[in-house]
Amino acid sequence: MVCETKKKSGFTLIELVMGMLIAGVVLLAAATFSFAMRQGQETTDLMLDGPAAVRGASIRITDLVHRAHALQQNDSIVTVQSEAGTSTLAVSGTTLNLDGKPLLKKCSGLSMEIRDGRLLIVRFKMQAETGWRDYEICAAVRCRSGG
């Protein structure tokens, strides 16, 4: 008696379907992880970028106004005159510009006000992780001797 054994080569249909199913589950897990990471990064950006931008703008505006000897406002433009020269703060839509360069971006309700010619108040809202937050930056011209 001669027994011939067939050599099997390739995969059966069930093996292919199972392999595709396992690969699909792995890819779905990777996509879910990627989506969760992106959501976490967006939340972190909102938590860190907004307050950091506000702190930086607050420091620059306060320093600029402290050194000033005159503040003038014309609509949405504030001119700050100091010994170092003249600088301008301007509202352009949702952006606050300092000398033509963006200082704060993506703000809502952006406004500036000068009180008594010595106090500059900048008000705006900025999006945070839990919604919109109100901000107010106040800076006063320092007293000069002999004046």
Confidence of residue 144 (pLDDT cuts 50, 70, 90): low
Name the burial class of residue 64, with classes exposed (0-12), middle (13-18) and buried (19+) by CB atoms within 10 angstroms of its CB.
Answer: buried
Best CA proximity match to 137, nearest among 126, 125, 127, 122: 122
38 in a domain, yes or no?
Answer: no
30 in a domain, yes or no?
Answer: no
21 in a domain, yes or no?
Answer: no
74 in a domain, yes or no?
Answer: yes
16 in a domain, yes or no?
Answer: no
* Greater pLDDT, 120 or 42: 120
* Structural domains in the chain (count): 1
Give the range of the structural domain holding residue 129, as residue numbers without chain letter.
52-140
User: Can you tell me the distance from the alpha carbon of 117 to that of 73, in angstroms, rounded to the nearest whole number?
Assistant: 9
CA dihedral 38, 39, 44, 46 (to 10 degrees): 110
* Greater pLDDT, 42 or 17: 17
86 in a domain, yes or no?
Answer: yes
* CATH number for the domain that contains residue 64: 2.30.60
Please enumerate in sequence order all residues whose Cβ is within 8 A of that of 47, keeping only pairs 6 or more positions apart, or say none. 128, 129
125 in a domain, yes or no?
Answer: yes
Best CA proximity match to 87, nearest among 126, 139, 146, 147: 139
pLDDT digits 0-9 by tens, 63-112: 999 989 889 999 889 999 988 889 999 999 999 999 999 999 888 999 99
Query: Can you spell out the DSSP letters for 115-143?
Result: ETTTEEEEEEEEEETTEEEEEEEEEEPPP
28 in a domain, yes or no?
Answer: no
Confidence of residue 61 (pLDDT cuts 50, 70, 90): very high
CA dihedral 13, 18, 23, 24 (to 10 degrees): 100
Average pLDDT, the chain: 86
